[in-house]
Structure 1
Amino acid sequence: MNDVQIRTFQVPGARLHYEVRGTGPLLLMIPGAPADAGALAGLAACLSDRYTVVTYDQRGLSRSVLTEPPADQDVAVFSDDAHRLLAALGDEPAYVLGNSGGALTALDLAARHPERVRALVVHEPPLPELLPDRERWRAVFQDVYDTYRDQGAGMAMGRFIATVEGDGAAPPAMPDPSQMPPEALEMMGRIQGNLDHFLAHVLLPVLRFEPDIAALRSGPVPVTVGVGAASGDGVPALSARVLAERLGVEPLVFPGDHQGLATDAATGAEIIHKTLA
């Protein structure tokens, strides 16, 4: 069931790389930048015995190459890509999972194209515009961008990761490259290659996104909001709790932290399947 079909799909301004696994109802899984489909490969493998799982690299990242000069990318552009990809995959609505920044794409897709989405699970969407101290977070992310411009991607990503982990959290432990399988090393290399585009063209426009709460509440798509059991008070976990409250749903607890869907894919897959079923 874990054989992977590699395909490409042309959208305005980009050629999307996507991967298909398994059989069953369609499940589209959207990763967050600067990661790509590889971040959800373990989860996709765990679900491919029950779903036709499609994962992809969002435009401008990794293998989804731009066919026009780089420009700022907002969530509407990303969700238009997802809408076009789903339309090309068939007429039936799909289950959709969005992780991190990919959850913003998924929320916009469900709000603007509910006929394409059967049910939606979003895991820790970073939505600083929903937070009570959003002006503070705007300044923090502007500082990340300015640090990138002045000091480069390495320093900027250090500051960005702190917004994900939360105040006082220890930085995430870096894996030992000698212990990593080749596909994980390959993905790490791709993510490194994505940092300039992410910081220059994705970070600020995407983090100004505010989902259409009214459309999501009144629409036909069931929305489940996931949060990591070990997540602290970083932007994604705070946002997930606020979003769930605004939607009138209880947050669904997943194991681990913001990276939990990758670090415990088997448990995450069972929670997702139970939720969708």
Structure 2
Amino acid sequence: MGEVAVVREGSGPEVLLVHGGAGPRTTWGGMAALAERWTLAYVHRRGYPPSPPPQERQDFEVDALDLAPLLVGRPHVVAHSYGVLGTLIAVAAAPDSVRSLTLIEPPLNHLVPDDPEVARLERIGDAVLTHGMDSDPAELREFLRIAGAPIGDGPLPKNVVAGVRRAHGSRPTSQARPRLDVIRQAGVPVLVASGDHEAALERICDALAETLDGERSVHPGAGHFVAAAPGFTEQLETFLRKSITGRGSKFSR
């Protein structure tokens, strides 16, 4: 299928950055200063140039296959949104291949069963992936706002429409069942971060941190793009250093 592109900047221990529905620049732009002390390795998932397009669709199972060879050097891994799914699958297959995991607002809705708000988030998210621009207009806008798309009350911007079309037909997030038990048993240091902008996502992140016995942090101010929020970069760097030394507490809010 051809390898995905990885663009590296900086020097120091490698931090592999796996974006979700938005591209690397939008997702990770707020973290550029870390390149003074860390090697930031920006993964470009299939369909995001300069990586090749997907053969069929955006698919977290394919993402996992793409990520597997990138874990050979045992990097720290930071993943966002849809990108968390493939990351967790790849890490569960080789849990000793990462130094730490930072997971930002993943669509792991099954971790919070019988919650109506989480169930609604899953339903409208899967609907947008399935129907694209033919989704119910109100639900499409609701999902795009939660996902951090820059939309107002008028027509959707061209770049947002392009993003919806790129995601159209993706493997639904409701099908993802990564082996979280394997990752927890391996003792991988985990940080789960959220932006305090959507109650359902906060509950999912709480449940994920508990399931993985990980740290939990909340960074308001940038919506779904938590990596751009005030305090996130500092919290991440503290966590990365603790992951190397083995020191630190579980929770930070």
Query: Same fold, TM exceeding 0.5?
Result: yes
Aligned equivalents of 1:141, 1:223: Cα separation in 2: 25
**Selected match of 2:141 from 158, 166, 188:** 158
Q: What fraction of aligned residue pairs are identical, expressed as a percent?
A: 25
Contact 2:129–2:167 (8 Å) recurs in 1: no
Partner Cα separation in structure 2 for residue 58 and residue 172 of structure 1: 19
> Which consecutive residues of structure 1, in runs of 5 or more, have no partner in the other structure?
1-12, 166-170, 176-187
The corresponding residue for 1:133 is 114
The TM-score, its normalising length taken from structure 2, stands at 0.78
Q: Are 1:238 and 2:203 an aligned pair?
A: yes
RMSD: 3.0
Q: Measured at CA, do residues 93 and 172 of structure 1 come closer, stay the same or move farther in structure 2, by a change above 3 Å? A: closer
CA change 1:18–1:191 in 2 (3 A) is farther
Name the aligned partner's letter for residue 272 of structure 1: L
Deviation at 1:15, TM superposition (A): 4.5
- For residues 1-277 of structure 1, the aligned pairs below 5 Å read 13-33=1-21, 35-66=22-53, 68=55, 71-87=56-72, 92-133=73-114, 136-137=119-120, 138-145=122-129, 147-148=131-132, 150=134, 157-161=140-144, 164=146, 174=151, 192-202=161-171, 204=172, 206-228=173-195, 230-234=196-200, 236-256=201-221, 257-264=223-230, 267-277=231-241
Give distance in 2, aligned partners of 1:82 and 1:74: 12
Say if 1:37 and 1:57, in contact at 8 Å, map to a contact too.
yes
CA shift in 2, pair 1:39/1:74, >3 Å: same
Return the TM-score normalized by structure 1. 0.72
Q: Residue 196 of structure 1: SS of its match in structure 2?
A: helix
What SS does the corresponding residue of 1:200 show, helix, strand or coil?
coil
Cα distance in 1 between the residues matched to 2:165 and 2:41: 26
1:108-155: CA deviation from partner (whole Å, max 9, x where unpaired)? 222112232111111111111222137944543444346536359x76
CA distance in 1, matches of 2:187, 2:158: 40
> Do the aligned residues in 2 keep the contact of 1:96 with 1:120 (CA within 8 Å)?
yes
Amino acid at match of 2:48: L
Q: What is the rounded CA distance, in whole Å, between the counterparts of 1:73 and 1:145 in structure 2? A: 10
Residues 96 and 186 in structure 2, CA contact (< 8 A), matched pair in contact too: no
Partners of 1:145 and 1:253 lie apart in 2 by 27
User: Do 1:95 and 1:117's aligned partners in 2 also have CA atoms closer than 8 Å?
Assistant: yes
CA distance in 2, matches of 1:96, 1:216: 13
Where 2:32 maps in the other structure, the secondary structure is: helix
Structure 2 residue aligned with 1:179: none
Distance 1:82 1:115 in 2: 14
Paired with 1:197 and 1:133, the residues of 2 have a C-alpha distance of 31
Structure-2 separation of matches of 1:22 and 1:145: 35
What is the CA-CA distance between 1:60 and the residue it aligns to? 2.0
Aligned pair count reads 233
Q: CA deviation at 1:192?
A: 4.4
